[in-house]
Amino acid sequence: MSTTYNNAVGPQVRAPHPKPGVVIPFLACASLVFGLQSATQFFAATFNYQDVLGNQFGGLYKPWAILEWASRWTSDYPLQLRQAGGFGMIVAASGLLCLAIARTVQASRPRPNPFLHGSARWANREDLEAATLLPRARTVMDWVKGTPRHSTDGVYVGGWLDAKGTLHYLRHSGPEHVLTYAPTRSGKGVGLVIPTLLSWPHSALIADLKGELWELTAGWRQQHAKNNVLRFEPAAAQGTVRWNPLDEVRLGTEHEVADVQNLATILVDPDGRGLESHWQKTSQALLVGVMLHALYKARHDGTIISLPAVDRMLADPQRPIAELWKEMTTYGHVNGQVHPVVGAAARDMLDRPEEEAGSVLSSAKSYLALYRDPLVAHNVSASEFRIRDLMHHTSPVSLYLVTKPNDKARLRPLIRVFVAMAMRLLTDTIAFQRETIPPSGLKGILERLGIRSSSPQLTTKPAYTHRLLGMLDEFPSLGKLEIFQESLAFMAGYGLKFYLICQDINQLRSRETGYGADEAISSNCHIQNALPPNRIETAEHLSRLTGQTTVVHEKMTVSRRRMSTWHTQESRTHHEVQRPLLTPDECLRMPGPKKDAQGHITEAGDMVIYVAGFPAIYGRQPLFFQDPLFAVRAAIPPPVVSDKLCEPHVPHVVKIEL
């Protein structure tokens, strides 16, 4: 059984292993030197510091002078040398003995640990600089080592007040994702979203519920960030760009079936609950076959096919549905032959009993009912941009997905289709390269001086032209997107960075409308920040993220004799106790933003920011309208009409080979 004390708790276990101390060896050497000095001075005093002994300074000789004298006068003065040597040995031995006793006492006493019950603390400036949220002053050694400068094009994750009360913006420019917990009317837009969009120079995909972000940020992004700004508002009569999901199908390639299957799966799962029923699964298979047939037929005829056109094919009152199934089994899709997926879907419908076939058809048409709205049908009937343009266009592209509150639930299936297809199409290509990465420290300095060279390493090579920021406010309201949850873990390597905002932890982990208790969204977000929450569940989650700390509790006991005012005894005891650095009720009581009578924010509130691997940050909410630079940028009017990146594409006519 080990008798040593276990103090390996707290942050010190992550520190480098302590090197052997130099104090004990230094004191031991000092004891030996002092012993020599004592012997030298004793011998010199015996002979009254005669000049023949050599040079001195105020009566002090060199410590090793006794050794020189012993080599010269051993036979002449043996008694005096023995006396001086004995005195020096006593002095040296006394010092070494005291040192040994002190070392033994120190080793036998347990070391106090200030992190016994927890080591959580609030981050300081050094932590913020290490987390790359604040720029660090560049030194000469940074230049010698080749350390890159701090990027200034990151997203805003909060603010931090220093000891002087100065507010510093916290920005993150790395590829990692950000997750924000912010209740309604808490100031997330004016504090986080708008400052980010008024400074992010790259491409952006923006969920704009009320069109407010378009009004405040599109003008600056177009005129000064040199972005093409697109406004996709499916239910708008004018001012919107058009997008056809079927134009994203890579027809004629090995990806065509997968693209159509993924699109059909999203169409028949508008709430994100998965394909649970028989009718959903059969409807998905039917839509795959019908959409592939419609795509090939449109290519042969030189026309444009869209989801409204697919719905018209299934609901044509002038044509019996059996004729469509027959056409799908005889049409020459590829080199005059029936496409196997199309033929199988039609044969399934022909082989089903009439009642079951009618139910499958009815279910399939119900998932396309949204596209019977003339406005929606017009806006999805052709494409004036492509999803790949977001990252591969010649200039950055900012796409605003605008849905009015009264159309939010109705248009959710279409927005889900867009987000899901974007995840798949923008993460399909990655390249690698062998790159020589200079090491840090002395090796890096030697390499920069040409003295040492490093071997190349395999790294990812950007296969995109522009980074993409996904600013998705209220993203759980889209329902569960399994492809989004799965892709979040690796999409950073493809140049995609997401800024996700939800109201609280319950909205994110809802089993009915969210991602469930075992969600992987928060696990894949390097930074989490929160404004004062309204739900205790969110407060408890934030408290656990902040961690436990150790505090010293003092207890004083006073005893007094009866009928006496002078004879008292007082005892004080100190106990180390554990408590959360931020308790749930303290989290709920964090000062929120102050508002005027109209509900407009006039003063910033507090917030907390968590960066993986660093202490929690107690910060202050930034407000864009209190910054003159942001106020000027937000005043730039947006364009009246959305930009367009391409004209609707009509495929060339392909002759059918029979």
Distance CA 324, CA 502 (A): 45
Q: What is the pLDDT of residue 15?
A: 46
In total, the chain counts a number of residues equal to 658
Q: What is the pLDDT of residue 173?
A: 94
User: Which amino acid would we find at residue 585?
Assistant: D
Structure tokens at 414: 């279409």
**Residues with Cβ within 8 Å of residue 140, at least 6 apart in sequence:** none
- Beta-bridge mates of residue 573: 555
Whether 544 and 581 have beta carbons less than 8 Å apart is answered as no
Domain ranges in the chain? 21-108
Distance CA 233, CA 250 (A): 25
Which residue spans within 390-495 are E strands per DSSP? 397-402, 431-435, 457-461, 468-473
Distances (CA, A) of 421 to 187, 249, 264: 31, 10, 11
Distances (CA, A) of 159 to 116, 123, 617: 31, 13, 9
Whether 468 and 391 have beta carbons less than 8 Å apart is answered as yes
Q: What is the pLDDT of residue 66?
A: 79
Give SS3 for 177: strand
C-alpha closest to that of 242 among 658, 657, 644: 644
**Residues with Cβ within 8 Å of residue 176, at least 6 apart in sequence:** 492, 497, 525, 526, 527
Which residue spans within 406-547 are E strands per DSSP? 431-435, 457-461, 468-473, 496-502, 525-530
Distance CA 67, CA 263 (A): 94
Q: What is the pLDDT of residue 7?
A: 46
Q: What is the pLDDT of residue 410?
A: 92
Q: What is the pLDDT of residue 3?
A: 42
Mode of pairing for the β-strands spanning 228-232 and 548-560? unpaired
Using N-to-C axis directions, what is the helix angle for 278-301 and 340-351, rounded to 10°? 130
**Residues with Cβ within 8 Å of residue 286, at least 6 apart in sequence:** 345, 348, 349, 360, 361, 364
Whether 396 and 466 have beta carbons less than 8 Å apart is answered as yes
Sign of CA dihedral 542, 544, 549, 551: positive
The DSSP output letter for 193 is I
Place of tokens 């969110």: 538
Place of tokens 């902040």: 546
Whether 60 and 42 have beta carbons less than 8 Å apart is answered as no
> Around Cβ 271, how many Cβ atoms within 10 Å?
13
Whether 466 and 202 have beta carbons less than 8 Å apart is answered as yes
C-alpha closest to that of 401 among 221, 207, 643: 207
Place of tokens 């309604």: 184
Sequence-ordered alpha helix ranges (H) in 52-204? 65-73, 78-108, 125-130, 140-145, 188, 194-197
Q: What is the pTM of this model?
A: 0.81
C-alpha closest to that of 508 among 487, 532, 538, 486: 538
pLDDT by 10-residue block (mean), the chain, 658 residues: 45 52 78 82 78 76 80 79 83 85 76 74 93 81 59 88 94 95 93 96 94 95 96 93 95 92 92 83 94 94 92 92 93 90 93 92 94 95 95 96 91 94 87 62 58 62 88 91 89 93 94 88 95 95 92 72 63 79 93 91 94 94 95 95 82 40
Q: What is the pLDDT of residue 2?
A: 42
Structure tokens at 574: 């100190």
C-alpha closest to that of 159 among 593, 611, 606: 606
Whether 526 and 178 have beta carbons less than 8 Å apart is answered as yes
Sequence-ordered alpha helix ranges (H) in 477-615? 482-487, 505-509, 536-546, 584-588
DSSP secondary structure, 288-315, as one string: HHHHHHHHHHHHHHT----HHHHHHHHT
Give SS3 for 361: helix
Distance CA 645, CA 229 (A): 10
C-alpha closest to that of 499 among 196, 179, 202: 179
Q: What is the pLDDT of residue 55?
A: 77
C-alpha closest to that of 107 among 4, 8, 21: 4
Mode of pairing for the β-strands spanning 468-473 and 203-208? parallel
